[in-house]
């Protein structure tokens, strides 16, 4: 029987107890406060203080060395915790384990100067404010980051930034103080050395929020995805994050664990959906039979279980590889989980909607929201096709063809 390390089981059960006692019973209240326009509902702030005081805080940061912040869990140890956090859209924030702040903190941890860490990482570790990551642009195909057009030019002791970004999640949230902007600093350099990352405080003159983009006509106070215009935005040269020209490589480093975390949370959400499917199918009857007696219902539930457990094993294997051989060597598995989990997530959400009938398309169950998130997940952090391209290329490189001809007869 496959089992996770003892430390992983212990921390998961601690988080699960806290989730069951302090978070889940407040779900209705959280939604009411969010609908009243509270981007960070009061109940979330209260529970967050409680989690922090118990030390259940910053669990998703990488374990780089003994002196690093956070609980220093390995990726594998975090998998079980992330599943619990994925059960509700707002649970990750309670423990300061949410995107985009975690990947942004990770960038600062990996590449920030001491001064940048003090100014930006420390307050993010304390959740004093939020952050955003602005790479995608409306005018260019941004799944290929070498297309980016935003220009970041040196002028004396400042960088001057001009360009348009969109889907910079959280940037228009009132709590957001930092945007990590990706743009072109070296247009003549080799393609992968053209971009850099610059730390831009949200109150810098020249930043305009043009609009908040709804996702499937849904816009919540906490999930804002704005379009931003940067017009002659000036920041000090010291706001460059990492090396000039290293933006592409840093982006790849950021996305490895981030994709893993998204996948693990999605698996937790799918567990909830499967449980809700089982519950619903026992409660309703049509044409003289309970819905769970129909083979189509049994197939919906069984296939969901098979597909989800396959995904979990793949995700756990990828987490183990990230811990043992690193992002670069595990890039095929990272692409594999991104495609597999997003597809499974969408399929399970779709089956749940179907079983709940009309109620399934309302907000009374988490299924409709899950479906829209799953559909978007097939695009953000890299569209399916781009990951399939990566997997196929690596598969081609890894093939050893020496003995293959023996399988082919009559040549």
Ligand X SMILES: Cc1cc2nc3c(=O)[nH]c(=O)nc-3n(C[C@H](O)[C@H](O)[C@H](O)COP(=O)(O)OP(=O)(O)OC[C@H]3O[C@@H](n4cnc5c(N)ncnc54)[C@H](O)[C@@H]3O)c2cc1C
With binding defined as CB under 6 A, does residue 372 bind ligand X?
Answer: no
What is the C-alpha to C-alpha distance for residues 62 and 71, in angstroms, rounded to an integer?
Answer: 9
Shortest distance in whole angstroms from residue 389 CB to ligand X: 5
Say what angle helices 247-283 and 295-324 make with each other, to 10 degrees.
Answer: 150
**Using CB under 6 A, which of 215, 249, 303, 361 touches ligand X?**
215
Question: Smaller CB distance to ligand X: residue 80 or 163?
Answer: 163
With binding defined as CB under 6 A, does residue 266 bind ligand X?
Answer: no
Quick one: which segment of 120-128, 297-305, 319-327, 372-380 binds ligand X (CB under 6 A)? 372-380
Question: Smaller CB distance to ligand X: residue 168 or 301?
Answer: 168
Shortest distance in whole angstroms from residue 19 CB to ligand X: 24
Quick one: which segment of 107-115, 156-164, 283-291, 384-392 binds ligand X (CB under 6 A)? 384-392
Q: Smallest Cα–Cα separation from 84: which of 258, 262, 257, 269? A: 269
Shortest distance in whole angstroms from residue 290 CB to ligand X: 38
With binding defined as CB under 6 A, does residue 225 bind ligand X?
Answer: yes
Shortest distance in whole angstroms from residue 393 CB to ligand X: 10
With binding defined as CB under 6 A, does residue 202 bind ligand X?
Answer: no
Q: Is 9 within 8 Å of 3 (Cβ atoms)? A: yes
With binding defined as CB under 6 A, does residue 120 bind ligand X?
Answer: no
Shortest distance in whole angstroms from residue 167 CB to ligand X: 4
Shortest distance in whole angstroms from residue 152 CB to ligand X: 15
Shortest distance in whole angstroms from residue 345 CB to ligand X: 13
With binding defined as CB under 6 A, does residue 212 bind ligand X?
Answer: no
Shortest distance in whole angstroms from residue 284 CB to ligand X: 33
With binding defined as CB under 6 A, does residue 136 bind ligand X?
Answer: yes
Task: List binders of ligand X among 142-171 (CB under 6 A).
Answer: 142-143, 167-169
- Burial class of 78 by CB neighbour count within 10 A (0 to 12, 13 to 18, 19+): buried
With binding defined as CB under 6 A, does residue 100 bind ligand X?
Answer: yes
With binding defined as CB under 6 A, does residue 11 bind ligand X?
Answer: no
Q: Is 221 within 8 Å of 38 (Cβ atoms)? A: yes
Question: Smaller CB distance to ligand X: residue 57 or 380?
Answer: 380
What is the C-alpha to C-alpha distance for residues 122 and 70, in angstroms, rounded to an integer?
Answer: 11
Quick one: which segment of 27-35, 133-141, 229-237, 244-252 binds ligand X (CB under 6 A)? 133-141
**Using CB under 6 A, which of 133, 230, 345, 369 touches ligand X?**
133
With binding defined as CB under 6 A, does residue 394 bind ligand X?
Answer: no
**Using CB under 6 A, which of 221, 340, 376, 394 touches ligand X?**
376
With binding defined as CB under 6 A, does residue 380 bind ligand X?
Answer: yes
Interface with ligand X: number of residues (CB under 6 A)? 21
With binding defined as CB under 6 A, does residue 135 bind ligand X?
Answer: yes
Shortest distance in whole angstroms from residue 145 CB to ligand X: 8
Q: Smallest Cα–Cα separation from 319: which of 350, 341, 349? A: 341
Cis peptide before 100 (omega within 30 of 0): yes
Q: Smallest Cα–Cα separation from 142: which of 227, 68, 83? A: 227
Question: Smaller CB distance to ligand X: residue 163 or 382?
Answer: 382
Characterise 357 by phi-psi region: left (phi > 0), alpha (psi -120 to 50), beta (else). left
With binding defined as CB under 6 A, does residue 386 bind ligand X?
Answer: yes
Residues at the contact surface with ligand X, assessed by CB under 6 A:
100, 133-136, 141-143, 167-169, 215, 225, 376, 379-380, 382-383, 385-386, 389
């Amino acid at each position: 029987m496959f089992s996770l390390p003892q430390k992983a089981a212990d921390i998961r059960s601690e988080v699960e107890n806290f989730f069951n006692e302090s978070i889940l019973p407040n779900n209705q209240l959280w939604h009411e406060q969010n609908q009243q326009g509270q981007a960070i509902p009061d109940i979330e702030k209260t529970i967050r203080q409680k989690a922090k005081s118990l030390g259940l805080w910053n669990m998703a940061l990488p374990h780089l060395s003994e002196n690093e912040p956070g609980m220093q869990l390995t990726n594998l140890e975090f998998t079980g915790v992330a599943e619990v956090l994925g059960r509700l859209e707002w649970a990750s924030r309670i423990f300061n384990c949410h995107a985009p702040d975690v990947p942004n903190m990770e960038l600062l941890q990996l590449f920030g100067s001491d001064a940048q860490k003090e100014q930006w990482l420390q307050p993010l570790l304390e959740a004093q404010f939020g952050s955003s990551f602005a790479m995608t642009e409306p005018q260019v195909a941004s799944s290929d980051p070498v297309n980016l057009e935003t220009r970041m030019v040196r002028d004396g002791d400042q960088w001057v930034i001009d360009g348009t970004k969109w889907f910079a999640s959280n940037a228009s949230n009132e709590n957001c103080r930092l945007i990590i902007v990706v743009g072109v600093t070296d247009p003549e350099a080799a393609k992968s050395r053209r971009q850099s990352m610059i730390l831009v405080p949200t109150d810098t003159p020249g930043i305009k929020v043009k609009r908040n983009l709804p996702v499937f006509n849904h816009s919540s106070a906490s999930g804002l995805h704005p379009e931003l215009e940067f017009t002659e935005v000036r920041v000090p040269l010291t706001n460059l994050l990492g090396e000039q020209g290293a933006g592409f490589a840093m982006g790849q480093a950021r996305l490895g664990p981030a994709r893993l975390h998204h996948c693990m949370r999605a698996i937790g959400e799918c567990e909830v959906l499967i449980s809700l499917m089982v519950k619903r199918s026992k409660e309703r009857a049509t044409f003289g039979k309970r819905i769970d007696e129909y083979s189509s219902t049994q197939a919906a539930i069984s296939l969901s279980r098979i597909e989800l457990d396959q995904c979990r094993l793949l995700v756990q294997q990828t987490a183990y590889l990230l811990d043992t051989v690193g992002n670069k060597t595990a890039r095929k598995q990272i692409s594999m989980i991104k495609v597999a989990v997003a597809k499974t997530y969408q399929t399970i959400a779709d089956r749940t909607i179907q079983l709940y009938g009309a109620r399934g398309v309302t907000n009374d169950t988490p299924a409709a929201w899950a479906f829209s998130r799953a559909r978007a997940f097939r695009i953000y952090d890299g569209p399916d096709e781009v990951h399939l391209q990566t997997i196929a290329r690596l598969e081609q490189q890894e093939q050893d063809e020496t003995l293959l001809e023996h399988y082919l007869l009559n040549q």
